[in-house]
Amino acid sequence: MRAFFAHGVDKMHLRWVVETMPALIHLSLFLFFAGLVIFLLNTNHSVFIPVICWIGCSLTVYGCITTMPIFWHESPFFTPLSPMIWSLNAFFSYGLYRGLAFITSSRFVSRHTWRRFRYLSKHYRDCMFGGTRMWKAAEKAVSKWSLKIDRDILDWTIGALGEDDVPEQFFDAIPGFFNSQMVKNLKGSLPDMVRSKIVDSLAGFLSRNLSSNSVSEEIKIRRIDICMNAANAFYDSRDTERIARHLFRLRFGQLSISSRTAGILERWCTRNDFPPDLRLAVANIFLFMRGHDDHWIAVAKDQFGLPTHVLRDNTAHGDDSVLLAILIHITRQIFLTNPEKWWILPSLSQFDIHHTLPGLQNEFCVLWNEIVEEARRSQHPYYFSVLNSIRHYYLALHQGTNAASISFDSESSAEDSDILRPPPSYPLCDIATHHPRATDPRPTRSAHS
What does the pLDDT look like over 197-226, one tens digit per residue? Answer: 888 888 888 878 777 777 787 888 888 888
Q: How confident is the model at residue 448 (pLDDT cuts 50, 70, 90)?
A: very low
**Residues linked to residue 257 through DSSP beta bridges, in sequence order:** 289
DSSP result, 375-387: HHHH--HHHHHHH
Task: Report the distance separating Cα 93 and Cα 123, nearest Å.
Answer: 9
H or E element: which one contains 241?
Answer: helix 237-248
Distance CA 8, CA 384 (A): 84
Q: Supply the pLDDT for residue 152.
A: 81
176 compared with 303, residue with greater pLDDT: 176
pLDDT at 129: 58
pLDDT at residue 104 tops 60: yes
86: buried, middle or exposed (CB in 10 Å: 19+, 13-18, 0-12)?
A: buried
- pLDDT exceeds cutoff 90 at 57: yes
pLDDT for position 196: 80
pLDDT of residue 77: 85
Q: Work out the average pLDDT over 435-448.
A: 46
70, pLDDT greater than 90: no
